[in-house]
Amino acid sequence: MPFHERECGRAVHRKRRRTVRRRRAEKNGQLIIPEPLTWGGKRPGAGRKPRGKRPGVSHQRRPDVPNPNRGALHCVIRVVEGLPTLRGKRTMRAIWFVLAGFRGREGMAVVHFSVQRNHIHLIVEADGRQALIRGMQSLSIRLAKRINAALGRKGKILADRYHVEVLDSFRRLRSAIAYVLNNARRHAYQHGGWVKEEGYLDPCSSAFYFDGWRGRRVRPPPLAVPVCAASGYALRVGWRRHGLIGVGEIPGAGR
């Protein structure tokens, strides 16, 4: 054993230094180092992966908002599991008056909505992408505080970021309105295999403020109005090109 590796008559085992070997090449006299050199930084496939039975909403950039004359947006707010149904008397009252107090704030207007057991559907108009973000943040905070107060609890209410879908055609807009206003029928048909009675309108929605039912006129209840009148052509007139909506339609049932 070489002298420099002996110490007081004992052999000293030294660990070999780990080195990173990089392939290098020269092209036109310039040194080229292949990428990536490390595991960090922005790259395809980076970031937290969705897990669980219901993966969370992606943290990608929010989509651009269509002009209200050409389209609208469908947003979904979901709450954590373990809460009482949002369709209960206390929680529904809180949600109703939050929407009534929010009308037209932050450059965003809620035109249609429906409340289900653990989520809320909204069809909204917004003045732009930033108006959508500010409006949904403000509305989500208001809902979380009022629902917690109604249930006499503290803690997290919203399960995840809100989901948003761009409705950029009159046909898609008509389908989304039917989906939101008749969502209670859809859930009953899908999960229970039964159909609600003829003429049923969901009281936990804005169905009584909607004037696009086929062959039926409805009278709004004597409560604070929770929605705004549509300002853009798409939600006022455009979707009607594809026909009015039947009270008994079941979205997604093939009928």
Q: How far apart are CA 93 and CA 95, in angstroms?
A: 6
Burial of 77 (0-12, 13-18, 19+ CB in 10 A): buried
Residue pair 180/114 in contact (Cβ under 8 Å)? The answer is yes
Encode the chain (255 residues) as per-residue pLDDT tens digits. 554 444 455 555 555 555 444 445 555 656 665 555 555 556 666 666 555 555 556 556 667 888 899 999 999 999 999 999 999 999 999 999 999 999 878 889 999 999 999 999 999 999 999 999 999 999 999 999 999 999 999 999 998 888 999 999 999 999 999 999 999 888 887 766 677 788 889 999 999 999 999 988 898 988 899 999 999 999 999 999 999 999 988 887 654
Instruction: Find the helix or strand (DSSP H, E) in which 214 lies.
Output: none
The CATH H-level (homologous superfamily) assignment of domain 72-242 is: Transposase IS200-like (3.30.70.1290)
Instruction: Find the helix or strand (DSSP H, E) in which 130 lies.
Output: helix 129-151
CB neighbours of 197 closer than 8 A, spacing ≥ 6? Answer: none
Give the residue extent of every domain in the chain: 72-242
Please give the pLDDT value at position 20: 45
Please give the pLDDT value at position 22: 47
DSSP E strand boundaries for the chain = 6-7, 10-11, 25-27, 30-32, 72-78, 108-115, 119-126, 163-167
CB neighbours of 117 closer than 8 A, spacing ≥ 6? Answer: 85, 86, 87
Q: How far apart are CA 197 and CA 191, in angstroms?
A: 16
CB neighbours of 42 closer than 8 A, spacing ≥ 6? Answer: none
Q: How far apart are CA 140 and CA 157, in angstroms?
A: 9
- Please name the amino acid found at residue 115: V
**Structure tokens that stand for 227 in this block:** 């929605």
Please give the pLDDT value at position 3: 43
Please give the pLDDT value at position 222: 87
Residue pair 111/170 in contact (Cβ under 8 Å)? The answer is no
